[in-house]
């Protein structure tokens, strides 16, 4: 047994490891709001100590109190393991279940220093998207997974491993819930309190469900979004050459934006206030140039636009300054958006203009009311500058699902139309909903559990062959989607998208997902590649109910309901998923969305073949059915096709009422 395997099986060690120094070279989460009163602090301490034998309590109490007082959370830094945090090949993990080993691999990938935004705080992306609340939970979970058999299921309560329970081989190996609090307790301060107490966490979408694959996970979706935004502003289909795209955020998922803009073929400027985040993306090759002076930025952008360069520029500073300067200097902004973590505006998701980064972090921890005032003032200026660009240049601006429009409206910005609706669309309303989700296309992804780049290259080839074959008989309505995806997968290797695990993402519909997965499983059975983990972003056709993002193009009044996401994860769990997850909160904020996801191990077996066909068909068509019932015509088309494929599928279809009859009724 290797030392790595021994350390995993050790779990929470009988002898405490030595305290670890605070590593200032790591990108740390900002200190959290001090929200607990004295009695609640005592409760948070009791909650943390229950992971440890009472003989250690005297030693741990001052340390945990110090963490709580300093950082606003008890992270248990001393329990951080000494081994390298990365997705090791599946063969290197201890265990009795290959499915459990695959989950260990995915957990470690989420916490890989090259992948995670704040790895020492167990936060993968979005400022607060956590895999676990503390390092004791991590150690105990990994031990349980290493001991698990295929007749057990591990139950996860917001990062806490409740335990292993008897089940059966077709049950999920892990069931995850994150942040599932009573609805009336889903305000931002509720999250701060429950998280500080150690009883709930914000799992984001793919952080607390172990399915994040680094910024590549959103590159493809962002590429599709920018490409189609370009198509919307193009009168003659001339493309994005020489067009300027302005946005913000280089932290977790937002770090994908410059790479996607390059693939789409435009000039992009991405504002980022955190130097460590910007330098990380630059060192990884995800952004081409960094500039910290606005005058230099204006000169560089003029040159890039004139020469029709494909170039991505990170501006080290506040995005509000960028928008205001472009409006002032009359440099045309063609497309604009924002991907700061505005779902988390009071805890580091968005930074106020005119305040230095470190000063803002200090204010956030010690003068939260002033910090909130500065944030809302910045949002008002941000929107005002965007409005100027829209008026001057006819800029196409869209909300990128980060709660930008929502938080701007709460700040009193000039973001509303007279009819009470937002001035600008969500990208799902305008692009992803009608062009992708309604047809069943969404972010399918896979990870080569062997860790071998040659396996990933082989899966790219297999997926390309499958899609090209499907395209031959695809209806005209989805030819553009098929073409975009084939172009994407063919260029995947040269675009160097891998950060962390050997992973790939591809927008595909149910037919594409099932046929690609079946081809992978056959290749595994034939010994051509190693095991493959399937998954998707929660941001998909069926996985998420979010009225200002994923379901923003649902107009029948049901966009504020969460039946789809709940039904999705229940259905996945008994149709063969290896693990399932359901979360309160995601890209748009705590209490604003319910989202679910899954993972599935392909091992070349007949069981895997059976499961993938059952689960993937449901996982997509659940959402198409709901979108069809909302009277989305593209979804009606898609679900009729699905019913032709499988006669066992019988979906209630909507009837359409004449507008004139409805109008005359009132």
Burial degree of 428 (CB within 10 A; 0-12, 13-18, 19+) = buried
Q: Which two tokens stand for residue 166?
A: 């008897």
Distant-in-sequence, close-in-space partners of 388: CB < 8 Å, separation ≥ 6: 327
Structure tokens at 63: 């340390």
Asked if 617 and 444 count as a contact pair (C-beta separation under 8 A), the reply is no
H/E stretch holding 536: strand 532-536
**What element of type H or E holds 396?**
strand 396-397
Among 337, 324, 322, smallest CA distance to 388 is for: 324
Q: Is 359 annotated as a binding residue?
A: no
- H or E element that contains 130: strand 129-130
Please state, in angstroms and as integers, the Cα–Cα distance from residue 405 to each residue in 205, 342, 384, 524, following that order. Answer: 20, 9, 13, 46
How far is residue 250's CA from residue 286's CA, in Å, rounded to a whole number? 9
Does 309 appear as a known binding residue? no
Q: Is 400 annotated in some ligand binding site?
A: yes
Between CA 462 and CA 610 the distance in angstroms is 20
DSSP, res 341: -
Annotation-wise, does 127 bind a ligand? yes
Distance CA 610, CA 599 (A): 15
Contact 627, 635 (CB under 8 A): yes
Residue 509 corresponds to which tokens in the numbers above? 């519909």
Q: Counting Cβ atoms within 10 Å, is residue 25 exposed (0-12), middle (13-18) or buried (19+)?
A: exposed
Tokens describing residue 236: 């003659």
H helical segments located in 86-152:
98-110, 135-147
Closest of 483, 400, 436 to residue 624, by C-alpha: 436
CA distance 28 to 350: 16
Rounded distance between C-alpha atoms, residue 347 and residue 105, angstroms = 30
Show the tokens assigned to 222: 């962002």
Q: E strands along 147-299, which residues?
A: 152-157, 160-166, 174-178, 244-248, 267-272, 289-291
Q: Which residue has the tokens 């929470």?
A: 12
**Residue 587 marked ligand-binding:** yes
> Which backbone phi and psi does 336 adopt, to 5 degrees?
-140, 150
- Beta-strand pair 396-397/442-448: unpaired
Rounded Cα gap, residues 175 and 162, in angstroms: 10
What residue numbers does the annotated binding site cover?
126-127, 204, 272, 400, 587
Binding residues for NAD(+): 126-127, 204, 272, 400, 587
């Amino acid at each position: 047994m290797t030392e790595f395997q021994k350390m995993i099986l050790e779990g929470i060690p009988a002898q405490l490891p030595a305290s670890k120094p605070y590593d200032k070279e790591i990108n740390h989460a900002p200190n959290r709001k001090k929200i607990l009163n004295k009695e609640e602090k005592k409760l948070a301490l009791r909650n943390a100590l229950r992971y440890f034998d009472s003989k250690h309590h005297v030693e741990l109490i001052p340390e945990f109190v110090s963490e709580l007082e300093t950082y606003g959370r008890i992270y248990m830094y001393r329990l951080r393991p000494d081994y390298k945090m990365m997705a090791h090949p599946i063969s290197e993990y201890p265990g009795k279940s290959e499915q459990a080993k695959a989950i260990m691999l995915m957990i470690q990938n989420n916490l890989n220093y090259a992948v995670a935004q704040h790895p020492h705080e167990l936060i993968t992306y979005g400022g607060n998207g956590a895999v676990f609340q503390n390092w004791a939970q991590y150690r105990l979970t990994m031990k349980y997974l290493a001991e698990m058999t295929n007749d057990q299921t591990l139950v996860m309560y917001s990062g806490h491993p409740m335990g292993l329970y008897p089940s059966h081989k077709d049950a999920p190996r892990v069931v995850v819930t994150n942040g599932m609090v009573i609805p009336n307790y889903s305000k931002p301060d509720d999250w701060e309190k429950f998280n500080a107490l150690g009883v709930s966490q914000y799992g984001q979408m793919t952080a607390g469900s172990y399915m994040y694959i680094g910024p590549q996970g959103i590159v493809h979706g962002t590429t599709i979004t920018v490409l189609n935004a370009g198509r919307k502003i193009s009168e003659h289909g001339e493309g994005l050459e020489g067009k300027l795209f302005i946005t913000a955020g280089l932290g977790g998922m937002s770090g994908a934006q410059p790479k996607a803009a390059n693939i789409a073929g435009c000039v992009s400027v991405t504002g980022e206030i955190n130097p460590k985040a910007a330098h990380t993306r630059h060192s990884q090759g995800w952004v081409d140039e960094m500039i910290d002076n606005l005058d230099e930025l204006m000169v560089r952008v003029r040159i890039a636009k004139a020469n029709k360069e494909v170039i991505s520029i990170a501006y080290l500073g506040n995005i509000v300054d960028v928008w205001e300067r472009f409006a002032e200097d009359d440099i045309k902004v063609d497309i604009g958006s924002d991907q700061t973590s505005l779902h988390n505006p009071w805890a580091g998701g968005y930074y106020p203009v005119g305040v230095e980064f470190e000063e803002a972090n200090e204010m956030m921890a010690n003068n939260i009311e002033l910090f909130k005032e500065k944030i809302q003032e910045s949002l008002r200026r941000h929107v005002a500058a965007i409005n100027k660009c829209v008026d001057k240049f006819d800029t196409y601006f869209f909300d990128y699902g980060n709660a930008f429009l929502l938080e701007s409206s709460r700040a009193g910005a000039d973001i509303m139309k007279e009819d009470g609706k937002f001035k600008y669309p969500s990208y799902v309303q305008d692009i992803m909903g009608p062009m992708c989700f309604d047809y069943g296309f969404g972010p399918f992804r896979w990870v080569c559990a062997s860790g071998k780049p040659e396996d990933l290259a082989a899966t790219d080839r297999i997926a390309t062959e499958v899609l090209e074959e499907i395209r031959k008989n695809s209806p005209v309505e989805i030819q553009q989607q098929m073409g975009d995806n084939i172009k994407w997968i063919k260029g995947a290797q040269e675009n160097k998208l891998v950060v962390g695990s050997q992973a790939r993402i591809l927008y595909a519909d149910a037919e594409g997902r099932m046929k690609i997965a079946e081809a992978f499983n056959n290749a595994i059975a034939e010994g051509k590649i190693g095991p493959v983990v399937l998954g998707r972003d929660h941001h998909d056709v069926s996985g998420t109910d979010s009225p200002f993002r994923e379901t923003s193009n649902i107009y029948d009044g049901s966009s504020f309901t969460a039946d789809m996401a709940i039904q999705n994860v229940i259905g996945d769990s008994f149709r063969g998923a290896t693990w399932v997850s359901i979360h309160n909160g995601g890209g748009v904020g705590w209490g604003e969305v319910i989202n679910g996801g899954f993972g599935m191990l392909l091992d070349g077996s007949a069981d895997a073949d059976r499961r993938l066909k059952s689960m993937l068909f449901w996982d997509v068509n659940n959402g198409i059915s709901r979108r069809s019932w909302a009277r989305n015509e593209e979804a009606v088309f898609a679900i009729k096709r699905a019913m032709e494929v499988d006669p066992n599928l019988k979906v209630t279809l909507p009837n359409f009422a004449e507008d004139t009859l409805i109008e005359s009724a009132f």
